[in-house]
Amino acid sequence: MYAEGKEKSISKRGTKHTGLVPNVTDYVVKGLALKQLLNKVRPTGSSEQEEKNISVDTEIERIAKTIPFGEDSFVAATHVNPLFESRNHDVMRRFLLGHLTKEEKKAAEDLQRSVHGNYKQFMDTSNQIELLEGDVLNLRNHLTEVNSVLKGLNAVNININKDNLTLRERSKWTGYLDNHIHWFLELPHQLDILTSERMFDEAIKNIQNASQLVITYPPLAIAESHIKEELNQRIRNLSDILLRDLQNPGIKNNESQSIINYLQALDFSSKAQEVFLETRTKKLQNDLSNLTFDGDVRVYIEELSRLVFSMIRSTSDDFKTSFNNNKNQKNNKMILSGFVVWVMKVLRQYRTKFKKHVFEIGDREDFKLMGDCFEIAKKHSMELEVKGLSLMFYLQQAFHQDLLKAIDSFHKRIETSINGQLSEEKWECRAFDGQKKITESGVFVYNVVQKFSAVIPLVHPESSDVLASTLSSILEKYLFELSTLVDTVQSRLGNRHYLGIVSNAKHLSGELLSSIIDLQVSNKLISSAEETKALQSRLHALYVDIQQQYCNYLANDIVNNPLRLDWGNTRYIMMTEEGAPSPSLKIIKLFEYLFTVASEIQKILGKDDLKAVITSILDRVLLGLSQGPFWKDEKSSTPMFSAGGISQFVIDMKYAMEASGPFLTNPSKHALTQAIERALVHYCITSKASPKSVFMDDASYKLIMKATLEKFKSLASNI
């Protein structure tokens, strides 16, 4: 009964089988029936088909409604077989397309109605989700706060042991935490009050106490973390107020120093320095704007110098007092460099006004006026030297070109001519004025200085001091340009040309400078021996710098040049030649080349500088043997030496020590000794050999090197 009723129920829904998949069966049966209908109503011709398209579609729908799809008597085969015998694809396609289009529109309308009907519910749900997200965030914050509180309580709570009911030892900070935590939480509000009442000292003490308490009582770091952002904001607000006060040009020195101390305590030293110097700049600009010119250049320059140099002096004193109490040396250097930059900026302003009134408004050929004005500037700048500020050299450089233009148009051309001479220089040495050998640019500068020196006695004595120093500055400029050009010249010139540069620097910083000093002495133009020594020291330093650059260039060429030693690519694998052991050919040729270079140096520079130059070159060469790419495999398991190679290496290093003779320094000897030890250690580790199997006694090494060393003794005797 139950099964029969179930089958009838299923039959009413349009399925013939068990009713488990009625929808699939309906679609299959209906599709086959539609195929049969299409076959029955297919038109006979294409033109007739176009005329009856609408009637055929209507007929298909009418017939489809009459077919008993859902009855038990429906047999699919009756309708399916004829469909595959006679078909009209166009009619089938058009009908199915129309049917699908109608279903699509119907589905879209249903979807639209569903969206509009559920819109309010959707918006309510979205609002609920947003509120829940906020609640979750609040809950998370509360959990974090509770966790922090629990951690703090855990440090001070009393723990009763279940077994013996003993009290756990209380934390050493228990008696302090409650008050300090409360104080920490109230600190931002307290800082607001203190800042508004301008009780800066108390506010900064509280900030420092907070930092110290966290260090003393580590559990307080939890309380600090909750107010960190608020505390930082209060510190920024406090620093902004202090910086605004510091910007006041009328602020007193003691007030300024107090504010700077506050800012340093807040770790705003750099900003305090910047604002402090900006305030002084504005004050100076205000004073200079009130300075009027009444026609007397000397009076104007005197007042201008007084204002500028007194401002520098007072600023220097206040700056040292306020900013030199920093224990961080690196910060002190940075702060000091900022002050130096400010001084240079002020001096540039001073130079602009000085030049305008002395060299442009006044008589350009009034050398006495120029000398008087420069003497005024010198007098005020000398007062600063007591404070540790030496500005005279800067002033000489600042007015150098102006003085030269005012003296003679000839010197105006010299500056350009020097650069032109250097750009066209071929660096070929030639004999000049006796034994000197210098290049064309050196001859040019030598002649110019000699001619210009004759002008000094003709100029007013008050200005001749500046003019005499100008002659010296020509030499400094030339030597400085030589030092600058060395890097570009060394890539395209050989050793002989490079020696020309060194020779120029030597003779101009030595003999020519001495002649200038003698001329100044004869005309009573030298104010102090210290100035003369300072000038000699500066020029000698430039010469030494050029000389050392030459030594570096030559040493690098010897060590790395593939045509020379090519040390980075040298390998001591099976290098021992047939016959008796001896130094390698590369090392022998190295010293042959060095003695050839020494001969050239002696011809151009003379014997006085020969030993110093050769020693410096040899130092760099021998140090180069103990470092660089040659040793790249020293720490690896890759052997750098064979059995014969290690012996050859030791012989070469020993030979380098002996062949260096009087030019060998202790650092070079130590470097070569270390190189031998490093090589032996590497060889013994990688080859598992004993050092005794490689190393010989000194007598054996000397016997091996005797023949070649005798050769070099004869070479050395010629230099």
The pLDDT tens digits for 105-158 are: 888 888 888 777 787 788 888 888 888 887 887 787 777 777 666 665 555 444
**How many CB atoms sit inside 10 A of residue 38's CB?**
22
DSSP class per residue in 149-164: HHHHHHTT---B-TTT
Q: Which two tokens stand for residue 258?
A: 């107090």
Contact 306, 260 (CB under 8 A): no
Q: Which two tokens stand for residue 341?
A: 């930059």
Q: How many helices (H) and strands (E) does the chain have?
A: 26, 2
Q: Which two tokens stand for residue 100?
A: 């699908």
- Partners of residue 432 on adjacent β-strands: 436
Range of weakest confidence among 38-52, 172-186, 224-238, 299-313: 38-52
The pLDDT tens digits for 230-257 are: 777 888 888 888 888 888 877 787 888 8
The CA radius of gyration of the chain, in Å to the nearest whole number, is 49
195 and 69 fall within a common domain: no
Contact 271, 342 (CB under 8 A): no
413 and 548 fall within a common domain: yes
Picking from 364, 348, 444, 446, the residue whose alpha carbon sits closest to that of residue 404 is 364
Q: Which two tokens stand for residue 445?
A: 């500068």
pLDDT at 304 over 90: yes
- Phi, psi of 712, rounded to the nearest 5 degrees: -75, -25
Q: Which two tokens stand for residue 33?
A: 């029936």
List all residues 6 or more positions away from 500 whose beta carbon is below 8 Å from its beta carbon.
427, 428, 429, 438, 439, 442, 604
Of all residues in the chain, what percent carry a pLDDT higher than 70? 64
> What pLDDT does residue 55 have?
58
227 and 288 fall within a common domain: no
> What pLDDT does residue 537 have?
84
Q: Where are the alpha helices (DSSP H) in 247-296?
A: 253-265, 269-289
> What pLDDT does residue 453 have?
66
Q: Is 97 within the bounds of a domain?
A: no
Name the more confident of 9 and 510: 510
> What pLDDT does residue 303 have?
93
63 and 199 fall within a common domain: no
> What pLDDT does residue 708 have?
57
Q: How many structural domains compose the chain?
A: 5
pLDDT at 82 over 60: no
The confidence band for 308, taking pLDDT boundaries of 50, 70 and 90, is very high
- For the chain, the first-to-last Cα distance in angstroms comes to 135
DSSP class per residue in 497-537: HHHHHHHHHHHIIIIIHHHHHHHHHHTT----HHHHHHHHH
The confidence band for 306, taking pLDDT boundaries of 50, 70 and 90, is very high
| Spatial distance between the Cα atoms of 642 and 573, rounded to a whole number of angstroms | 5
- Phi, psi of 656, rounded to the nearest 5 degrees: -60, -40
423 and 549 fall within a common domain: yes
Query: Hey, is 581 helix, strand or coil?
Result: coil
pLDDT at 167 over 70: no
Contact 187, 229 (CB under 8 A): no
> What pLDDT does residue 44 have?
46
| Spatial distance between the Cα atoms of 155 and 428, rounded to a whole number of angstroms | 84
List all residues 6 or more positions away from 578 whose beta carbon is below 8 Å from its beta carbon.
none
547 and 565 fall within a common domain: no
- Phi, psi of 432, rounded to the nearest 5 degrees: -150, 130
Question: Measured on CA atoms in the order 289, 290, 292, 298, is the torsion positive or negative?
Answer: negative
| Spatial distance between the Cα atoms of 222 and 219, rounded to a whole number of angstroms | 6
Q: Which of 557, 585, 600 is the last residue of a domain?
A: 557
- Phi, psi of 69, rounded to the nearest 5 degrees: -65, -35
Q: Is 650 within the bounds of a domain?
A: yes
The pLDDT tens digits for 576-585 are: 555 567 788 8
Q: Is 416 within the bounds of a domain?
A: yes
pLDDT at 336 over 60: yes
| Spatial distance between the Cα atoms of 265 and 371, rounded to a whole number of angstroms | 49
Residue 115 parent element (H or E)? helix 89-154
pLDDT at 297 over 80: yes
Q: Which two tokens stand for residue 688?
A: 């598992």
Query: Hey, is 590 helix, strand or coil?
Result: helix
> What pLDDT does residue 481 have?
84
Q: Which two tokens stand for residue 539?
A: 């020029």
Q: Tokens 């920490």 correspond to what residue?
A: 184
Q: Is 258 within the bounds of a domain?
A: no
| Spatial distance between the Cα atoms of 81 and 86, rounded to a whole number of angstroms | 9
Residue 451 is part of a domain; what is its CATH number? 1.10.357
Query: Hey, is 97 helix, strand or coil?
Result: helix
The confidence band for 374, taking pLDDT boundaries of 50, 70 and 90, is confident
pLDDT at 712 over 60: no
643 and 660 fall within a common domain: yes
| Spatial distance between the Cα atoms of 243 and 418, rounded to a whole number of angstroms | 50
Q: Is 185 within the bounds of a domain?
A: yes
| Spatial distance between the Cα atoms of 121 and 498, rounded to a whole number of angstroms | 91
pLDDT at 21 over 50: no
Q: Which of 87, 112, 134 is the last residue of a domain?
A: 87
In total, the chain counts a number of residues equal to 719
The pLDDT tens digits for 522-560 are: 656 555 567 777 778 888 888 888 888 888 888 888 888
The pLDDT tens digits for 385-406 are: 877 788 877 777 777 667 666 6
pLDDT at 184 over 80: no
> Exposure pattern of 338-347 as b/e (b: 16+ CB <10 Å)?
bbeebbeebb
> What pLDDT does residue 490 have?
60
Q: Is 156 within the bounds of a domain?
A: no
The pLDDT tens digits for 593-630 are: 888 888 888 888 888 888 888 899 999 998 888 888 88
- Which range has the top average pLDDT, 51-60, 440-449, 701-710? 440-449
> What pLDDT does residue 598 have?
86
pLDDT at 58 over 50: yes
List all residues 6 or more positions away from 173 whose beta carbon is below 8 Å from its beta carbon.
155, 156, 217, 219
List all residues 6 or more positions away from 379 whose beta carbon is below 8 Å from its beta carbon.
305
Q: Which domain holds residue 66?
A: 2-87
| Spatial distance between the Cα atoms of 591 and 604, rounded to a whole number of angstroms | 20
Q: Is 144 within the bounds of a domain?
A: no
| Spatial distance between the Cα atoms of 526 and 544, rounded to a whole number of angstroms | 25
Q: Tokens 């570096």 correspond to what residue?
A: 552
Picking from 437, 340, 458, 440, the residue whose alpha carbon sits closest to that of residue 394 is 340
Q: Is 285 within the bounds of a domain?
A: yes
530 and 617 fall within a common domain: no
pLDDT at 11 over 50: no
Q: Which two tokens stand for residue 117?
A: 């009907």
666 and 597 fall within a common domain: yes
275 and 383 fall within a common domain: yes
The pLDDT tens digits for 621-640 are: 988 888 888 888 888 888 88
Residue 438 parent element (H or E)? strand 436-438
566 and 712 fall within a common domain: yes
pLDDT at 45 over 60: no
605 and 530 fall within a common domain: no
Picking from 396, 415, 397, the residue whose alpha carbon sits closest to that of residue 405 is 415
Range of weakest confidence among 76-90, 123-137, 186-200, 683-697: 76-90
Query: In whole angstroms, how far apart are CA 619 and each of 114, 142, 639, 657?
Result: 93, 72, 28, 11
The confidence band for 451, taking pLDDT boundaries of 50, 70 and 90, is low
Q: Which two tokens stand for residue 463?
A: 């200005």
As a whole number, mean pLDDT of residues 705-710 equals 58
| Spatial distance between the Cα atoms of 532 and 403, rounded to a whole number of angstroms | 21
Say if pTM beats, i.e. exceeds, 0.85: no
Average confidence score pLDDT of the chain: 73
Q: Which of 498, 524, 557 is the last residue of a domain?
A: 557
Range 397-401, long-range pairs (CB < 8 A, 24+ positions): 397/473, 398/347, 398/348, 398/351, 399/351, 399/354, 399/355, 399/374, 399/466, 400/470, 400/473
- Phi, psi of 435, rounded to the nearest 5 degrees: -90, -10
| Spatial distance between the Cα atoms of 521 and 685, rounded to a whole number of angstroms | 69
> What pLDDT does residue 302 have?
92
